[in-house]
Amino acid sequence: MKPIFHRSVLFRVVAIVLLVGLLMVGIIYSPFRPFQSLGPRVGISPEQDAVEVLAYWTPARMKNAEKVEASYSGRPEEPILTPGGDVYGYTALPVPYAADVKSRWVGILFFHRPSGAQPLDAHCSASIIDSASKSLIVTGAHCVMNAPKFPLTWDTQLMFVPAYNGAAKGAEQAPFGYWPIQRVFLPQEVADNPYSFWGAGSLDLAVARVYPQNNKALQEVVGGGFIPHFLTDDDTFNWVTLLGYPGPVQSGHGDGRQYMCYSRGGKSGLEGDKLSMPSCEPLGGNSGGPILLETAVGKDPEIIGTLTAPDGHNRLNKSVFTPLYNAAENSASAR
């Protein structure tokens, strides 16, 4: 009797062969350095040159990168809770940002994306996290690399500007200066498979270490950072706050200003492990921005997640975050 070879088996074999081929092409032909491995759970970027980064970001390039060319027709799923919020749920924060703890700990993350159909300058949002080195920020994994695409490549010219105000002039535009990123640290799962973070509720996360400026660390200049508040997949909240720099011109943003949005925090995603903010429409440029929880009256808010995608946002998971944090703290030994 002839063995029966089902077409489903054949399709699986072909799919595996194609996937392996794509991976090999990415490894062999990518003009950029591949991920380095730092321990079993962390992928690490190449080290940037601080002088080169600062020289790259001219005022004209920063102004151009404030805008995100994306069309958004969606609206929040639930009623807008933000006082004075626009149709997407956002309202511009009062200036000067340096006068408010939340605003001064949040900044714009400029980057150059050399890969893709056309190289571009763009931005995400990021925030300072409290650390012993006083030099760490947190953002989204998709803000520091061109994913999910093969071959996997890093974004370059990464620079963090806390309390950035694109509508201001002179020193008021960057009251705490410009901070080039030294290295970026990602979950190893994302390093191995750039598609992985779209499905999981805690993998779209990156911790970055910035270079010191004038012999001072970031937190020494800005004055503090958010304390991480870890979540389970089942945690929900009556009230959370999103901060960042939405960039779509089509939505009336893209002016380099900080915006905020209030929402309840629910569950979303295929597995129910993502954090939803149904009163805030996700907008490009706001990716990586902190989702904050007020834990007590008179106490600074804590970060519980980062903005990711329309189907839900990244929950701050201890098992994912801690290896990235530790690697970034000890990155001097990883050079």
Q: Which residue, among 31, 127, 24, 113, has the nearest Cα to 65 in the 3D structure?
A: 113
Report d(CA 52, CA 158) in Å as an integer: 10
Residue 1 has pLDDT above 50, yes or no: no
Measured at the CA of 79, the angle between CA 282 and CA 254, to 5 degrees, comes to 35
Residue closest to 173 by CA, chosen among 255, 232, 114:
255
Which percentage of the chain shows pLDDT scores above 90? 64
Domain 31-334 in this protein, CATH class = mainly beta
Lowest mean pLDDT segment, chosen from 86-95, 125-134, 323-332: 323-332
78 falls in which pLDDT band (50, 70, 90)? very high
Question: Model confidence over 260-302: pLDDT tens digits?
Answer: 999 999 988 766 788 999 999 999 999 999 999 988 778 899 9
pLDDT per position as a tens digit, 104-138: 999 999 999 987 678 899 999 999 999 999 999 99
CA distance 239 to 90: 15
d(CA 5, CA 25): 29
Q: Judge contact between 244 and 259, C-beta under 8 A.
A: yes
Which of the pair, 29 or 259, is modelled with greater confidence? 259
- What pTM value is reported for the model? 0.86
- Cα 21 to chain centroid distance, Å, stands at 30
Amino acid at 252: G
- Say which amino acid occupies 206: A
